[in-house]
Chain A
């Protein structure tokens, strides 16, 4: 056996020996190291799974919020231009113009932590360390009157004890919720006595190139 062939054979043995025992059918992919998983696994659930060690106070959060968040969300989370409103709106959900904020609408505090940690500040995602995310989350609780003490510290230990007002405001999908006409065959002729136009797009005139700007934001 030539030297080259011997080294190829040796490499083959090495590869076999080093190859992990796969659960899968195709032996594709490689095992993720714990350090790789922990670096990417940044999600947080309502039961606290995924929360990092640490904590931060309302007072610390206020300073961070002014520096990192207020340019879009406003000093008090009121939302500038069309950027999201983060505070207020309690009691508006059943009204004509609901204001959906962390305080009025969001069911779980973990969602705030998870989202800020992964996606905020807008354009500089994942730049906040865990203590900063705790502090900003604490300040958002303060802006929404969920906590009232500026010295309050939100941390891994007390996190799941904080409940938001609208946690019980959600229900399962119960569609279809409109008349299922197919079972009795939908009407084909003389289905209504007369037809009149009740609403027109031209009254609003908010189509691009149509002139005015307006209408409610969808995001």
Chain B
């Protein structure tokens, strides 16, 4: 009955071990952090509570949650970036994640009018414009089309946008956290458009969201017919509300703003609409005052996620450097890592699946004896494109572009293991 009762011997034993720690016996030789008494609980020769007493039964959490010891692994907002939380952004904690898949609850959020709460039974998708027959689909109709499963990254075009004028935010969550990568289950958009019958002068589509922003973008028909999906599942379960439940557009490799959430309508046309999000926003202002528009593809990019400002080096000796790389134009063929600010480079090891337009995971194992490091990664994609330095980008674009900053990131590791976001010569 008293399954969680404390072991009465424990206090004495812990005190003994604490005393021993003071003498250095419990401190590993290479650790640069002190070991506290709390860390000793449950370690040999102690027997931990969880090894003695019963845990919670099944159904304690009908929908499982991460361990309470992972409660710090959450999306984070940068309040000064935007005027309201309903039209704002938060960031994926990249430094806490591994592999190539982002857990659904950690995929960054970007809304323009808050999260629409859509009842799937009342959701409709309309196809109109230059089609033989305008159609309305229920979600049940969408689920009767042939399906496909694909892993794709989604990156906001403004990811790293705060860094154009120099190092600003300390943490890859904030500098690079507007990217996620999940497996989508959905219907090829081509099949749904063909169901309505495209007229011969059709050249563009305009997806539109059911949220209070009515998000709309122009997408060239070639892309729509090539690899776009109408997705209803992510990582096997229904889309999260903040990711467009029950239906979102997937535009592989292209900027996240085009992946319209809560998709309610697709109009087919013969020219682009020049909507607010493709004119006043998501256009790239250059130094001479002109702007690039329709800059859809996300260029090849990488970042070291560990170590990074939120994930300092804790131990001398053998360490694992980890990072992620992606390209909107194909697969990532290679990642190089530098420990000295770009003077010398070595090949990192790409591990795990290599999917087209998806995140790739890379590792670099190294020995660290407390010397300062200037960590960089540079990725090369299947088109041969090499991730540029930030100064190479500034040389051609200036510093007012906001969007499409895919420059090489530098982390300064100090002697104590702390890491700072810096730029180097």
Contact = CB atoms under 8 A, between A and B. Distances in A.
Contacts of B279: 106-108, 111, 170
Interface string B113-139: 100000000000011110011111100
A114 B169 CA distance: 35
Interface size class of B (residues with CB under 8 A): 35 or more
A176 B299 CA distance: 8
Contacts of A206: 80, 168-169
A215 B80 contact: yes
Given A28-B145, A186-B386, A219 B167 contact: no
A75 to B, nearest CB: 17
A20 B169 CA distance: 58
B424 A40 contact: no
Given A28-B145, A43-B216, A115-B276, A200 B420 contact: yes
Contact of B425 (A100, A126, A177, A195): A195
B412 interface: yes
A124 B379 CA distance: 45
B385 A180 contact: yes
A183 B424 CA distance: 25
A204 to B, nearest CB: 5
Contacts of A169: 289-291
Contacts of B32: none
Interface string A55-85: 0000000000000000010000000011100
Interface size class of A (residues with CB under 8 A): 35 or more
Interface in A167-215: 169-183, 186-192, 194-202, 204, 206-208, 210, 213-215
Contacts of B297: 173, 175
B134 A37 contact: yes
B126 A40 contact: yes
Contacts of A187: 345
Interface of B: 76-84, 86-89, 112-113, 126-129, 132-137, 141, 144-145, 158, 161-162, 166-171, 174, 191, 194-197, 206, 208, 212-214, 216, 264-265, 267, 269, 271, 273-276, 279-281, 283, 285, 287-297, 299, 309, 336, 340-346, 374, 378, 380, 384-386, 388, 392-393, 396-397, 400, 402, 404, 412, 420-425
13 contacts: A23-B196, A37-B128, A41-B128, A100-B285, A102-B280, A114-B273, A171-B290, A171-B293, A180-B385, A190-B343, A195-B342, A201-B422, A217-B80
Going nearest first, the 10 A-B pairs with the smallest beta carbon separation are A24-B195, A94-B289, A23-B197, A195-B341, A118-B214, A178-B388, A93-B289, A201-B421, A82-B83, A199-B166
